[in-house]
Chain A
């Protein structure tokens, strides 16, 4: 049998549950809003990282132009060229910039940004793990709410049956006047059972609201998590691909020093730099994709969350006075029916 609902402890527990539910709603909303803000910040930071990287990759690529000059100069023929070379030898020896040095400096910049991108990928991963935890929590709340609904639904039905019995026509009173005492007792029972019925119905409604709350927030939470996960996966793939390409260019840059900027190595290096174009293209795609996240996906999620906040305010307003016996019965039927449907869905693997 349910506990005595008329006790002060039970009343405050019932109010507490409602207040807890409101707090939980606020907490979920706050966490999801925080999540969106964090993802927004991460996306902006990511754009900065990849944008900077793209510029530096481009600069590294442009350095290839210097290599053309070196090659052309080394192929200059004729007496005048030879004389000019001798006369300007000392000056040009110091003026001539080592391609290797220039590329080293640019490579260092690119390498630093790639490291930053790798660290950033871990930040995204942590954010995704946080969001996954929220999703797990919502699933757990959903399961618990369903379980509680089943319990409350069963109790409401049992109370309804008790109430029907208590309200049934009284047996004929005995000559000793026992009938009148029994009528008072039955009236007291009816009052008590009615109160218990309403209390359980309110509790049931709150569990239903809790389920709706969890269910409504589950999709945005899942969407946010998937957004961050895909950002992280893309970032990780991009970092791996760009690292391989930049490392390959690095090996050629390093080899360039071996032959004092010899034309043969220069040509090889140019081929290596061409590979950078692919890395630059990947960066470009990546920046465009994050633009979509910033301008469409995140604002949409944010709007969805705000709209839910308004709807949720309504479902938490039920009170004892508003619960009629018919409504309690309907809620119990609804809860038990949905619980049975959910079990079937779970068994068929349709539940999410």
Chain B
């Protein structure tokens, strides 16, 4: 789905408002990267340089190709450095000869300046760190990805490995940081959306040690007026803004299974002995539907946190990167 030019800015600022309202913790992809990525796409900064604005049909999130265009521009901006930007004189000359071209050169230069100073969401990224090295090697893997359906996904995996097997898969960069065998990232890319417990099992088997905690945080879908919503969406949200933030987690320090996700039914599953599964879904929604959405989630037996979503104002300048 493509957004018409006049809807691009409002869409992005609404999504930014939703992210601010949800205040995602480090169980989700970094908020700063997400906000910066959306800001780069905003025509207020980049005009039509990154057009067309494409969305994933099923989730209403920015399409992978649209996000990737910003990343490609960032690579070019960093590769060329500030000297590669057109000078003010060049832009003025271009504006005099061809106003549309002048605007485009100016927008590209502004975008490049912005992108040189910001981190954006990665297509896929794996960070590994060593938390403790004693009788076991406790390793944390954090894997970020723009999921196939456009949602932004983060897997956080706590592994307990026999110290001897650490060296087979990881290389120590310093006291805490590890470089993982590329196969680990490939494995997570293949199975990033596999059901939680099956994923836990696969990762444990592949890496040779139990997964003591596994969480998957996803941002999206994002519903907004216009596109058709899924049939099971509550009627109250049909003309509203709603951003989902889902979290599913399996760990030994969860005392009992908890299911607070009104959107997905609790699956029939059995966590490994001594572990339990926690699932929840939060919503940032237009203030007018907050109560109705809360009531709907309670009716479904999975009371959800619903916070009011206010789109970021146009004149507010760059979005704050921290909460």
Residues of A participating in the B interface, judged by any CB pair closer than 8 Å: 89-90, 93-98, 100-101, 104, 107-108, 111-112, 114-116, 119, 122, 125-126, 129-130, 132-133, 247, 250-251, 254-258, 260-261
Contact = CB atoms under 8 A, between A and B. Distances in A.
Nearest to B101: A125
Nearest to A130: B97
Interface string B179-206: 0011111110111111000000010011
Contacts of B205: 89-90, 93
A126 B97 contact: yes
B124 A104 contact: yes
Interface of B: 54, 63-65, 68-69, 71-73, 75-76, 90, 93-94, 97-98, 101, 104-105, 108, 123-124, 145-149, 169, 181-187, 189-194, 202, 205-208
B183 A96 contact: yes
Chain A interface main SS type? helix
Contacts of A250: 64-65, 68
A250 B63 CA distance: 10
A257 B189 contact: yes
B105 A96 contact: no
Contact of B148 (A89, A130, A255): A255
Contacts of B193: 257-258, 260
B208 A90 contact: yes
B76 A119 contact: yes
B94 A112 contact: no
A132 B101 CA distance: 14
A129 B183 contact: no
Contacts of B68: 107-108, 111, 250
B97 A93 contact: no
A254 B64 contact: yes
Contacts of B93: 126, 130
Contacts of A95: 183
A202 B180 CA distance: 84
Contacts of B75: 108, 112
9 contacts: A93-B183, A93-B206, A96-B186, A101-B189, A108-B75, A133-B97, A247-B65, A257-B148, A257-B193
B182 to A, nearest CB: 8
Nearest to B64: A254
Given A90-B208, A94-B169, A256 B148 contact: yes
A33 B76 CA distance: 30
Contact of A112 (B63, B76, B146, B149): B76
Contacts of A122: 101, 104-105, 108
Contact of A261 (B123, B190, B202): B190
A256 to B, nearest CB: 7
Q: Name the 5 nearest CB pairs between A and B, nearest first.
A: A94-B183, A129-B97, A258-B148, A98-B186, A93-B206
Contact of B187 (A98, A107, A251, A258): A98
A156 to B, nearest CB: 40
Nearest to B79: A112
A154 to B, nearest CB: 37
A261 B71 CA distance: 24
Contact of A100 (B73, B101, B189): B189
Given A96-B183, A257-B189, A119 B65 contact: no
A94 B187 contact: yes
Tell which of A254, A255, A258 has the most Cβ of chain B within 10 Å: A254
A108 B72 contact: yes
Nearest to B70: A115
Given A115-B72, A126-B93, A251-B63, 20 more contacts: A89-B205, A93-B187, A93-B206, A94-B183, A94-B207, A96-B186, A97-B182, A98-B185, A98-B189, A100-B189, A101-B182, A104-B124, A108-B71, A112-B72, A122-B108, A247-B54, A257-B148, A257-B193, A260-B190, A261-B190
